[in-house]
Structure 1
Amino acid sequence: MVITKGGTYTGNWESRDSEIPAVEVRTSEPVTIINSTIRGAGYLIKSWGHDANITIKHTSGYGLTPTPWSGYIKSRRFLTIDHFRNVVVENCNLNNTAGIYIGENYTGNGTPANSIKIRYNKAYNIDGRTYNGIDIVQFVQFNYKGEVPAVEIAWNQVINEPDKSAVEDNINIFNSRGTPDSPMRIHNNYIQGAYPYPANSNSYSGGGILTDSPGTDSARVTAFVMIHDNQLVGLGNHCIGIAGGNNIEVCNNRAVVAASFQDSTPFPFWTSGIWARDYYKGKLTYGNSIHHNQLAVLGRDRTWRNDVGDSTQFVASVYDNEHLPDKVTINLEAREFTLWQQKLKLAGIKLGPQNQ
């Protein structure tokens, strides 16, 4: 399906060839995809070079078996966009896809009407496996130039299973910014599971939520981000990390990690709660805070707690975090999902497509 004019589209589209997107949007006019089912061996929805204004609602996406690719890896992104004015993804299901990528350039008018909203979605097994390889993928990856107001990644449920997924950071904010008076808000998400592939690998560089910012361009560095009221459960490597960026606030999150698989086999890779460091030594990581989070995170050998990293003192103020007194077990992790369901009910929020 190739869309060349604005409008509202509903349908069932599929591509079993990784080289061919299931849906391609080639217009800057407003496009809405709603009440649809999309399957793809490569990109499910693609819009490159068209200053996209795309809304996707009540739609299910399924990753199919990857096929050979040429030129560059074409993972099974539910949505891939490079130049954009406005992007909305709400009440969708993502099943065995490679998540959502939004970059490289914001061309909107700097108002809340030209922003990014990723809300009320369900994602299962974010999977970067391609034909004869693995791509670095996320539930959400931002990598755009420009300050974007009123950005939200909120009320999403992301669940990854070992050996059925291949995810880097579930949410990665890379050289992308909110605004001083309208910070990017990453809030009230439930993220469970982050593993290498295969899951018994000794090393892993992914995790939960990461702000990332190499380089020395102060106008491009990640900035003005609020990460709050999320639940991070059973994650390998990190729950929330500030690897670069400034004016980032991490507060009121819950992180529970028993550092073991469901059969109680210990994770062979690193585990940590929340930390901050100037990872790239660009001297642009400052003015951050980590406070009022609730944590119960076991270190890799499961004999010590690794709730908040020591390095946070150098690039973030750290205060009033609560180290949960509970014994950290798989059962404690399971309780988090019950709390999440209660939270959704109290807020009156329904996830995923409501008309399928």
Structure 2
Amino acid sequence: MKLFFLILLALQIIPTITESSENQHKSINTPSIVDTSFFASQGEIDKFISSNKILISKDLKKRNGALLLKNASNRIIELEEFTDEQGKDYVLNISNCNNITIKACRFYNADKIAVLISNSTNITIINSSIDGANTSKQGLGISVYKSHNVLIQGNYIINCSSGMYALESTGIHFIGNLVIDVKGPKPRGQMVQFNQVSGINNLIKDNIAINRKGTSDPEDVINIFKSHGEVDSPIIIEGNYIYGDLLYGSEDKSKSGSGIMLADGGGSHIVARNNVVHSAGQVGIGVVSGDNITIENNLIYSSKSNRSNVGLMVWSFYKIKPGSINVNNNISGWENSSGKQNSRWFGKAKQGHEYEFRSVVDRDNKWIKSQDLARDKRLAIKPLLQMSPVPGNVAWDLNSINSIFKNN
């Protein structure tokens, strides 16, 4: 019985994710991707699986070449491989389910969506990999629709149109994932996008995004669109490392993309804090609408490229009555495409004076030369290279990950 609880704890790794506006961190910290101390050994996992029969392949029904899990509860899918061999809309469809966990699985070659989660609650995908490299359409990694309490943690997502897209859902947690080379094109091209996500406990935290020149087509790496948090539980974007190409920065990236874009199309109660944005797009962090939007304690940097524009942007873009914006304690060093320092821009409302923000607080920010900020150790990719493989986790393969950086 002791072993049972040991392994169960090791496999779950589902943290309590309760954020409030009072939980304000004062410094930028290296993100902890996966806490390996909570994992059992591969042998223990194999023994636990064989003795408790937690694999549920028999519950999966093949429909037109794709796999469907429908009206199921309290199931675990572990150490499975899924591939789209017939060009279907999805590889795995989780529909109207409750308490489903996917662990240490591999998903390949989704033409449209690798994992579709719809009308479901308490869904977890951890320590898995999604690779869209061998399909011409390179579909979406994870799509969440009208679902509640979804945890996506510790996954490796590469060569997908976007990492995760969440629509009309609540309680979405995207934590500690590594997302490389999103393919777009627009409107896709995000590591993660919230579209009409609302309510409490929505969190994007401790992720790493890298988009290399010639192999990616990112738009906004993190995009928060028409989404609303709560006064005591805002949408939190925290501790993320967002990179363009490690040598060429934002060169040849989208002319309209950014590292983090807030309140796109409207939104409220959103906080972006303690993030590092390194040459991820033409804009570092931007807010273009919304009310009660906070940007604080972020590190924003870019050297000159043919796409670099401005580090931190506050600009009312839509015909929507916006509210208050707080920009506090950020450090921005940004060189635009002309070689001029352009660390911030607070523009006049695009749609006319009546659509200006009600208030914009600009407090304790440092707008510095990009050359000075370039020496800041917090910009380094080293935290990623220090990660070690997790026992029993098929997602993290350091040899393949390190090969991405061998020439950088």
Deviation at 1:287, TM superposition (A): 1.0
Deviation at 1:192, TM superposition (A): 0.2
Provide structure 1 residue ranges, at least 5 long, that are not aligned to the other structure. 69-74, 107-114, 215-220, 260-266
CA separation of 1:194/1:227 partners in 2, compared to 1, >3 Å: closer, same or farther? Answer: farther
Question: What is the alpha-carbon distance in structure 2 between the residues aligned to residue 326 and residue 232 of structure 1?
Answer: 13
SS at match of 1:205: coil
Q: Which residue of 1 aligns with 2:347?
A: 311
Displacement of 1:200 in angstroms is 6.3
Counterpart residue number, 2:307: 269
Report the CA distance shift for 1:16/1:163 in structure 2 as closer, same or farther (over 3 A): farther
1:217 corresponds to: none
Instruction: Normalising by structure 1, report the TM-score.
Output: 0.79
Q: 1:287 is matched with which residue: 324, 327, 332?
A: 324
Of 202-211 and 22-31, the range deviating more from structure 2 = 202-211
2:333 partner amino acid? A
Q: 1:125-140 counterparts in 2 under 5 A?
A: 125-128=181-184, 136-140=188-192
Deviation at 1:104, TM superposition (A): 2.5
1:297–1:325 distance in 2 versus 1, CA, 3 Å = closer
2:274 to 229, 247, 258: 229
Larger radius of gyration: 2
**1:168–1:194 CA contact under 8 A, matched in 2:** no
For 1:325-340, list aligned pairs within 5 A: 325=369, 327=371, 332=375, 336-338=379-381
1:88–1:105: structure 2 CA closer, same or farther, 3 Å change rule?
Answer: closer
Given that residues 220 and 281 in structure 2 are in contact (C-alpha distance below 8 angstroms), is that contact kept between their aligned partners in structure 1? no
* Cα deviation, residue 328, structure 1: 5.8
Q: Distance in 2 between matches of 1:156 and 1:125?
A: 14
Output the aligned Cα RMSD.
2.9
Preserved contact between residue 182 and residue 191 of structure 2 (Cα < 8 Å): yes
Alpha-carbon separation, structure 1, partners of 2:245 and 2:87: 25
Q: Is 1:209 aligned to 2:272, yes or no? A: no
Residue of structure 1 aligned with 2:298, choices 238, 250, 253? 253
Matches within 5 A, 1:95-244: 95-97=158-160, 98-106=162-170, 115-128=171-184, 136-144=188-196, 147-193=198-244, 204-214=255-265, 221-244=266-289
Could you say which residue in structure 2 is the equivalent of 1:93? 156
Q: For residue 337 of structure 2, what is the amino acid of its counterpart?
A: R
C-alpha distance in 1 between matches for 2:365 and 2:323: 19
Equivalent AA in structure 1 for residue 323 of structure 2: Y
- Superposed CA deviations along residues 33-64 of structure 1, whole A, max 9, x for unmatched, are 0111111232110123x234321001011013
SS of residue paired to 1:2 = strand
Q: Distance in 2 between matches of 1:334 and 1:173?
A: 28
Kindly indicate which of the two structures has a greater share of residues assigned to helix: 2
1:320 aligns with 2:364: yes
- Tell me the percent identity: 22
Q: CA distance change for structure 1 residues 194 and 174 in 2, over 3 Å: closer, same or farther?
A: farther
Q: Which runs of 5+ in 2 are unaligned?
A: 1-66, 350-355, 395-408
Task: Tell me: CA distance 1:248–1:135, structure 2 relative to 1, closer, same or farther (3 Å).
Answer: closer
Aligned residues: 312
- Contact 1:35–1:353, Cα closer than 8 Å, also in 2: no
Which of 68, 78, 87 pairs up with 1:2?
68
Deviations 1:298-346 (A, max 9, x none): 01111x21111132895321121112356269x64886125x629x98x
The Cα offsets for residues 47-106 of structure 1, whole Å up to 9 and x where unpaired, read as 23x2343210010110133347xxxxxx52110122111110001101112210000244
